[in-house]
Amino acid sequence: MAELNIVLFEPEIPANTGNIGRTCVATGTRLHLIEPLGFRLDEKSLKRAGMDYWKDLDVTTYINYEDFLERNPGARIYMATTKAKQVYTEVHYEPDCYIMFGKESAGIPEEILVENQETAVRIPMIGDIRSLNLGNSVAIVLYEALRQNNFDHMRLEGHLRNYDWK
């Protein structure tokens, strides 16, 4: 079974993290938060964005990047960054991989990226757009990883409430 992991490096905006948490619950994905955070985990805006799903979230926090690495030895980590040379669809996401995203104001530090060049991926954009919203970026890359893993353990069809599909 695919057990993907989303890693947020020093996230700053509680609503983004709340939305990402909700996406993780909907996809059976674990969320990892590397401190310092730009908010408290009990903030109202975080819970509002995650709605009533936050209680179902598999979330782990780390005091820093080194703590994350120590507690996840051998993890295959893809670095989502606007600075990468390869597109997020050009790699194969293993069922237990980690996909890291940087903080909203600065991304993943370049000293980390330089150590992980072969797993750095980007979402294509036109012009000089700085970046997409963090929640949108997570959803784009996560759903590609899920697609590559055949949406393992996910419901693939929906149902109407008051009608039947023909």
At the topology level, CATH places domain 5-148 in: Alpha/beta knot (3.40.1280)
* 166 residues of the chain, pLDDT tens digit each: 669 999 999 999 988 999 999 999 999 999 999 999 998 887 676 666 556 777 899 999 999 999 999 999 999 999 999 999 999 999 999 999 999 999 999 999 999 999 999 999 999 999 888 889 999 999 999 999 999 999 988 888 888 999 988 7
Which residues fall in the annotated binding site? 102, 123, 131
What pLDDT sits at residue 118?
96
The total of other beta-carbon atoms located within 10 Å of residue 53's CB is: 16
Which residues fall in the annotated binding site for S-adenosyl-L-methionine? 102, 123, 131
Name every residue whose Cβ is closer than 8 Å to that of residue 94 and which is 6 or more positions away in sequence.
76
What pLDDT sits at residue 37?
93
Eight-state DSSP code of residue 36: P
Question: Which amino acid, 79?
Answer: M
Eight-state DSSP code of residue 103: B
- Taking the CA atoms of 132, 111, 46 and 158 in sequence, report the sign of the dihedral they define: positive
